[in-house]
């Protein structure tokens, strides 16, 4: 297996962050645009695609399954799809690298296509649970083998005699919801997913744009059934051009950096503001963060706008469990913001953080403790005691987790002593231009060798 030399990065105290940036395209939307275009009839053009390792692995997977996927010199990607259920037998096992979204959504597409596909990933992905998708995908008739413990590598033999499925999500997960809906695309009749707690809805929105027969009903009876999403299977999708807006989960690092450093004022343009994704902005505003949204507009069925963030004195809050799905990837950087707030920030209902690219609850707690922050955590909660000054000076293990890496570099921009992370290479899975953009805003981030 190829090994890349690790690259330590150090962040030092910075102030006066200033400038206007665009963050790269949204990761969730990028994966979906490539996948849906790959099973649509005709050619779809995708602009603003996130060209990061996770998404490139999805592009390669779609090509391995028979779609024509091509990048043009102006950065547009053109995809000619094979039709619903039209994937061909790949010649090799498919490697999704670090990406849970890539592997889980693709597993849904394969489960109702009569081909045999092997799936694997890097050390992080091979330790993440697959039972959450193998359980519902077996209901469609797919035969699935995994490594013991429901881990990758996994082999799916897609069902030839597929049946539709009605499935209530046992965990609030857009990946599981999407895997089931995508399997339902090639099942006869109607497949329904019942979602007790709303999660990101890009799959529903984009499938509709590609012409899927999809309906959503909300339960208003007070029984708290949530939403039911129903897809009519074996109906072709039609090619659709997609413009990918900026990723709010990447913008999060620049926003928190501006809030916790002095004399900062930054603008991030064209960011996705889908309500199922902006829990961090709501939380930071509640903490007293000076964040303003301008130029709100709608494009391609999604809301977007420009985010202005300025230095702020934050105060601790309780982030309710109900907000977790709307900011599930942003807790590490929220914990960093909380370290500089007055009082304690309590985050509830965040057990899902334990099965992300790393056990994020454990890595955040360790990283904060290494830098002098008082933190307490339990199975599904965390409390961070804020302080006027954070000592810093710690060495942070990132556990093959891009968001842990970026969050602790942000901590180092405002702590007294610099913060060093063990390996910045993993940042390329979601935000390859992170260093360049942050340095451009005035952040002191640099590579260091192992003696520094």
Instruction: Catalogue the active-site residues.
Output: 329
Q: From the CB of 251, what's the least distance to ligand S3P, in Å?
A: 14
Residues 6+ apart with CB under 8 A from 424: 7, 8, 9, 405, 409, 435, 447
What tokens appear for 55 in the block? 């998404």
**Region 212-271 residues binding ligand S3P, contact defined as CB under 6 A:** none
Q: Where are the beta strands (DSSP E) in 60-105?
A: 68-71, 77-80, 94-95
Nearer to ligand S3P, 101 or 134 (CB): 101
**Region 302-331 residues binding ligand S3P, contact defined as CB under 6 A:** 328-329
Q: From the CB of 49, what's the least distance to ligand S3P, in Å?
A: 14
Q: Which of 111, 140, 158, 200 binds ligand S3P (CB under 6 A)?
A: 200
**Region 83-122 residues binding ligand S3P, contact defined as CB under 6 A:** 101
**Binding residue count for ligand S3P, defined by CB under 6 A:** 11
Q: Which residue has the tokens 């309710």?
A: 320
Q: From the CB of 30, what's the least distance to ligand S3P, in Å?
A: 9
d(CA 361, CA 180): 28
Nearer to ligand S3P, 200 or 397 (CB): 200
**Region 159-198 residues binding ligand S3P, contact defined as CB under 6 A:** 173-175, 178
d(CA 251, CA 23): 6
Q: From the CB of 407, what's the least distance to ligand S3P, in Å?
A: 14
**Region 324-383 residues binding ligand S3P, contact defined as CB under 6 A:** 328-329, 352
Q: From the CB of 445, what's the least distance to ligand S3P, in Å?
A: 23
Helices and strands of the chain, counted as H and E runs = 12, 26
Nearer to ligand S3P, 21 or 171 (CB): 171
Bridge partners of 420? Answer: 10, 395
Please measure the distance between the N-terminal and C-terminal CA atoms of the chain and give it in whole angstroms: 29
Nearer to ligand S3P, 266 or 324 (CB): 324
d(CA 96, CA 273): 27
Q: From the CB of 104, what's the least distance to ligand S3P, in Å?
A: 7
Q: From the CB of 303, what's the least distance to ligand S3P, in Å?
A: 17
d(CA 141, CA 153): 20
Using the rule CB under 6 A, is 290 a contact of ligand S3P? Answer: no
Nearer to ligand S3P, 77 or 331 (CB): 331
Nearer to ligand S3P, 183 or 260 (CB): 183
Task: Tell me the residue nearest to ligand S3P as measured from the CB.
Answer: 28
Nearer to ligand S3P, 150 or 352 (CB): 352
Q: Which residue has the tokens 């069902």?
A: 159
Q: Which of 14, 28, 230, 415 binds ligand S3P (CB under 6 A)?
A: 28
Q: From the CB of 415, what's the least distance to ligand S3P, in Å?
A: 27
d(CA 78, CA 239): 10
Cα dihedral 336/400/353/51 (nearest 10): 90
d(CA 391, CA 314): 18
Nearer to ligand S3P, 65 or 180 (CB): 180
CA–chain centroid gap for 245, Å, is 14
Residues 6+ apart with CB under 8 A from 367: 394, 396, 397, 404, 407, 408, 411
395-396 β-sheet, strand order: 395-396, 419-421, 8-12, 444-448
Number of alpha carbons in the 13 Å side-chain half-sphere of residue 441 = 34
**Binding site residues, ligand S3P, CB under 6 A:** 28, 101, 173-175, 178, 199-200, 328-329, 352
């Amino acid at each position: 297996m190829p090994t890349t030399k690790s690259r330590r990065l150090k962040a030092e105290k910075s102030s006066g962050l200033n400038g206007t940036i665009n963050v790269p395209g949204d990761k969730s939307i990028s994966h979906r645009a490539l996948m849906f275009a790959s099973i649509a009839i005709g050619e779809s053009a995708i602009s603003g695609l996130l060209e990061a390792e996770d998404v490139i692995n999805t592009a390669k997977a779609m090509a391995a399954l028979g779609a024509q996927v091509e990048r043009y010199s102006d950065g547009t990607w053109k995809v000619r799809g094979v039709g619903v259920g039209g994937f061909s037998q790949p010649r090799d096992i498919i490697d999704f690298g670090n990406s849970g979204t890539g592997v889980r959504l693709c597993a849904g597409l394969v489960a109702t296509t009569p081909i045999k596909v092997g799936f694997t990933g890097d050390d992080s992905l091979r330790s993440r649970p697959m039972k959450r998708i193998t359980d519902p995908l077996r209901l469609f008739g797919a035969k699935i083998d995994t490594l013991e413990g429901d881990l990758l590598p996994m082999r799916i033999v897609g069902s030839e005699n597929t049946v539709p499925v009605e499935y209530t999500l046992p965990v609030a997960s857009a990946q599981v919801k999407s895997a089931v809906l995508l399997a339902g695309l090639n099942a006869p009749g109607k497949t329904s997913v019942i979602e007790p707690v709303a999660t990101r809805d890009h799959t529903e929105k984009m499938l509709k744009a590609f012409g899927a027969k999809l309906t959503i009903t909300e339960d208003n009876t007070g029984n708290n059934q949530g939403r039911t999403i129903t897809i009519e299977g074996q109906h072709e999708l039609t090619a659709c051009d997609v413009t990918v807006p900026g990723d709010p989960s990447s913008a999060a690092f620049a926003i928190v950096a501006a809030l916790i450093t002095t004399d900062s004022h930054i603008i991030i343009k064209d960011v996705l503001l889908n309500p199922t994704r902006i829990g961090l902005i709501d939380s930071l505003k509640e903490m007293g963060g000076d964040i303003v949204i301008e130029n709100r507009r709608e494009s391609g069925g999604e809301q977007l706008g420009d985010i202005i963030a300025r230095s702020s004195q934050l105060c601790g809050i309780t982030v309710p469990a109900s907000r977790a799905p709307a900011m599930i990837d942003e807790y590490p950087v929220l914990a960093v913001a909380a370290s500089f707030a007055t009082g304690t920030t309590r985050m509830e209902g965040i057990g899902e953080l334990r099965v992300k690219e790393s056990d994020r609850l454990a890595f955040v707690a360790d990283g904060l403790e290494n830098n002098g922050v008082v933190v307490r955590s339990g199975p599904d909660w965390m409390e961070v005691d804020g302080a006027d000054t954070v000592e810093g000076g710690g060495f942070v293990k990132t556990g093959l987790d891009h968001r842990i890496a970026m969050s602790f570099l942000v901590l180092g921009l405002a702590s007294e002593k610099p913060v060093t992370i063990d390996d910045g290479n993993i940042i390329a899975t979601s935000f390859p231009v992170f260093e360049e953009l942050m340095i451009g805003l005035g952040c002191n981030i640099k590579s260091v060798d192992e003696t520094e």
